[in-house]
A and B are shown apart, each in its own frame.
Chain A
């Protein structure tokens, strides 16, 4: 029972959004037992705590029940628990509590790959990510976030299988699509923020440090020089993680960071085979489809030019392009342009 009160008191303290992380640590440091923090006199004896009146108002035994109710849906791992991931102890600002939904045993995995990238990513790269993570998730744990672009692509490809998804806010405030529920069923959703806390911009950077620290290896998909991904990469390097990156052509803004990291020693990945074993199982092509595909291979990627140079009728070319798309050979990469998905 005592242990339970300790945990709940800790969660109650963690749920106070108006207190900073350092202030929470300060309070905990001074307490002999964690349940002491529910004691008004103990709180009054603390030096240098702002808004102490509000703290006293909220840290009461009555509020414990409310907290217990609010977190009943989630699994909460505190730093007091045995299954608290060891990796987080490397952090100076280790999370006090982790709010989880799904399979928490994934956190103990010793073979995980975090896949990071920016919101603005080329469609052909997204296609590559989708194929890659499907393969990787068969036998490794994938760690990612839940923002648009690369991270959304990962989640919709693996549907949560062997996937740990870190949120930049409370679970309730981030749950705006059905997809996240599927992920919780197959994999794990995890965050250091109390379920009702809002998502805030800077929290995503904080979240990135957890992604970087928990994984064994990191794959960098995309990112411009100013992208928030650079923090994640920086954390990973500080923690001596192996870094992989995709190469980009010169001048492609969404690939500046990748090229930079490759220059600095990241391992270049340009084929699925670089990370996983794959068998080519794509369906065969007809003669006409081969003509169009070879045109795209040679750099004729715009519809109008394909129509002119293939000597096929408009409707034939349109049919072939859709068929090639269904067969996974090409992807629409711009308003009227196509790109290969052959990696």
Chain B
């Protein structure tokens, strides 16, 4: 007796089709699984046997061979339990009308209950791309599956239910699509820009950074409000598009970080690793090459508080993803590429004691200790941070103005408009924000008039800037021009862009 079913395995973010073949023949009772199974797959023997028995069916007392094809791919996880059980039953129970075009995924409990699995969204997206549209998945994964367009999905609770469905004894209920409801919920944010008093320049810089997707570094003394400002970023981030939401959800699903109730990441992620994080935690890896924090922050923000406290090698690992907007994780077992297009927001003190440059405070740090502290952030890394901002605390009672500060919601509306403008401009360029512009794009979209050139030249001579800083200034100027819906970059945009540079990033200047 022979039966066949289709399931999927995960390789990084890609689902790979696995055909499960079951052959039952006469002989001494045995149960073998071949086709490079790992421990979790091998153990499915015991789960399948008990689940079949406890669901009221008879486990065949014969020689059973299960083959997982393609045979050269290493299979991991408990994705195949359900399909193996069904294939065995189908070989024995005749009227089980088993449709081979169903993709069947599920982990079995000993009592026949079907348990949820990670990475269902990734698998379904790959499967739909490959032409498979019918799925049977665990009930608890139903929410994330409901966001996949073009899939007919049945969510099931236990083995007996699946058998009933295939026998035709139970009506088939496809889960409803939730695509329209994704963004209907009003988002609530804990922090709002209207609670930040003063800090006008910083707020303006935040708006520019978010509008253009620019990386941001805030340098300031302790208590100057860096963290508070950073925590306001989610409240002004533009809405996600459906594509972006699915991309991010896929990664969260594979990493096992997806909330089962929500089933989708519809708000931009805001990841805040602690400075003790390791390279693997940040970049991804481990035995099974799981995505790291920077991939979880895909389409969102990676906020690194006290950036200079991170080990230098951890910071350096950000360089390549900041450039390529993806990260390749190679391990002995597999090689996976995860997207990592995030906005980096960092904050740090200007010197070890934190008082350098603060009005009325004395900094006792030696020059060498300041240089050592600052040089944790290497020049190539700083080159990738477009906006560098000095922040100083302001005493509240000193601020005379009692005008109400602007709410995040208003800023967010403006940000949304500027982002749409950029998406329209970059259509066909494979990028979406000004920050992602490469040399070619800068030449194309940041043409400078003669007047602008002179302004930039004057600023260069005053500040001994390197040629690398030029591109940063141009990108930010492009965003500022976009915020005023100006086609060309004007001198005033350029001058303002020049002001978002931290003077003392590498040397003691004050």
Interface residues of A (CB under 8 A from B): 119-120, 122-123, 148-149, 156, 253, 301-305, 307-308, 314-315, 318-319, 321-323, 325-326, 332-337
Contacts and interface: CB of A to CB of B under 8 A. Distances in A.
A318 B499 contact: yes
A284 B224 CA distance: 36
Interface residues of B, number: 40
A88 to B, nearest CB: 30
Contacts of B357: 334-335
B492 A319 contact: yes
B9 to A, nearest CB: 53
A302 B198 CA distance: 11
A304 B391 contact: no
Given A322-B496, A333-B510, A314 B201 contact: yes
Question: When A and B form their complex, which 9 residue pairs have the shortest distance between CB atoms, in order from nearest?
Answer: A335-B357, A335-B390, A336-B392, A335-B392, A318-B499, A334-B357, A304-B198, A314-B204, A319-B495
B459 A326 contact: yes
A326 B359 contact: no
A123 B508 CA distance: 10
A148 B358 CA distance: 21
Interface in B196-226: 198-201, 203-204, 219-221, 224
Contacts of B234: none
Interface in B428-486: 455, 458-459, 462, 464, 480
Nearest to A339: B510
A335 B496 contact: no
11 contacts: A149-B367, A304-B200, A308-B399, A314-B200, A314-B201, A314-B203, A315-B204, A322-B499, A334-B359, A335-B356, A336-B391
Contacts of B362: 253
B401 A322 contact: no
A334 B200 contact: no
A315 B496 contact: yes
A341 to B, nearest CB: 11
Per DSSP, chain A at the interface is: helix
A318 B201 contact: yes
Given A318-B499, A319-B495, A334 B201 contact: no
A318 B204 contact: yes
Interface string B478-510: 001000000000001001101100010000111
A123 B462 contact: no
Interface of B: 198-201, 203-204, 219-221, 224, 350, 356-359, 362, 367, 390-392, 394, 398-401, 455, 458-459, 462, 464, 480, 492, 495-496, 498-499, 503, 508-510
Interface centre among B200, B356, B367, B464 (most CB of A within 10 A): B200
Contacts of B499: 318-319, 321-322
B236 to A, nearest CB: 15
Given A302-B359, A303-B200, A334-B358, 15 more contacts: A149-B508, A302-B394, A307-B200, A308-B401, A314-B200, A314-B203, A315-B492, A319-B492, A322-B495, A322-B499, A334-B359, A334-B392, A335-B220, A335-B224, A337-B392
Contacts of A337: 359, 392
Contacts of A333: 510
Interface centre among A253, A318, A335, A337 (most CB of B within 10 A): A335
Interface centre among A149, A156, A308 (most CB of B within 10 A): A308
Nearest to A304: B198
B510 A334 contact: yes
A202 to B, nearest CB: 17
Given A148-B367, A253-B362, A335 B221 contact: yes
Contacts of A304: 198-201, 394, 399
A325 B362 CA distance: 25
